[in-house]
Amino acid sequence: MARDAEQTKQRLLEAAISEFAAYGIAGARVDRIAAAAGCNKAMIYSYFGSKEGLFDAAFDERTGAFFEAVPFDAGDLAGYTGRAFDYFDEHPETLRLSTWYRLERSDAEHLAAITEVNNVRLREIGRAQREGEISGHFSPVQLLVLIQALSAAWHSTNPELGPHLPSARAGRRRTLVEAVQGLLALK
């Protein structure tokens, strides 16, 4: 029985990731999530407490997977930006959930966990700057904001620019990596 419960919970989570990535919290429908998972919508409330609780679980799953797959390296910010771009390219739902999170849940208790991750990153950037591994031209927070924005830039660019964008994924990635290298070259 426990295994079935875990499988049901996992199916709900996977269906929720797709639904929330497409529609956000306000637009997502628990009926569609339950149908996609092949279960009764009462299971959503049983396992997650509410639609918001399910969103939080979906967000936690995707951000946790991102943090595991793309470890932060203050000594290689250009490489980190390229790896983050790769991850977002392969898992666009992660970036979409992050966008919905900022729009609809930025006051949630999960903000503390994301804040702590960013505080660790800021300390690592500061350490790397003090030890001369990377330029101190920008403050740690400026650098973090810039690399986060750059890693998502191609995925969130205006669609009307489509005909002018480089079609090759490798070219888009190279642009990001070189942009971060250029930022780090500033003295």
pLDDT of res. 170: 86
The answer to whether 176 and 81 are in contact (CB under 8 A) is yes
Cβ-proximal residues to 127 (8 Å cutoff; 6+ apart), any chain: 74
Give percent above pLDDT 70 in the chain: 90
In terms of domains, do 40 and 78 share one?
no
What's the whole-number mean pLDDT along residues 97-124? Answer: 84
Q: Is the pLDDT of residue 160 over 60?
A: yes
Q: Is the pLDDT of residue 1 over 50?
A: no
pLDDT of res. 47: 96
What's the whole-number mean pLDDT along residues 27-48? Answer: 96
In terms of domains, do 42 and 107 share one?
no
CATH for 95:
1.10.357.10
Number of domains, the chain: 2
Q: Is the pLDDT of residue 39 over 60?
A: yes
pLDDT of res. 163: 67
pLDDT of res. 88: 95
In terms of domains, do 96 and 180 share one?
yes
Domain that includes residue 20, residue range: 1-55
DSSP secondary structure code for residue 39 in this structure: S
CATH for 14:
1.10.10.60
Residue 151 domain flag: yes
In terms of domains, do 170 and 137 share one?
yes
Q: What is the CA radius of gyration of the chain?
A: 19
Note the helical H segments in the chain. Answer: 2-27, 30-37, 42-48, 51-69, 77-90, 92-104, 110-130, 140-153, 169-185
In terms of domains, do 94 and 138 share one?
yes
In terms of domains, do 149 and 86 share one?
yes
Lowest mean pLDDT among 58-67, 106-115, 118-127, 145-154: 106-115
In terms of domains, do 77 and 147 share one?
yes
Residue 62 domain flag: no
Residue 64 domain flag: no
pLDDT of res. 3: 59
In terms of domains, do 30 and 79 share one?
no
Residue 102 domain flag: yes
Q: What pLDDT band is residue 105 in, cutting at 50, 70 and 90?
A: confident
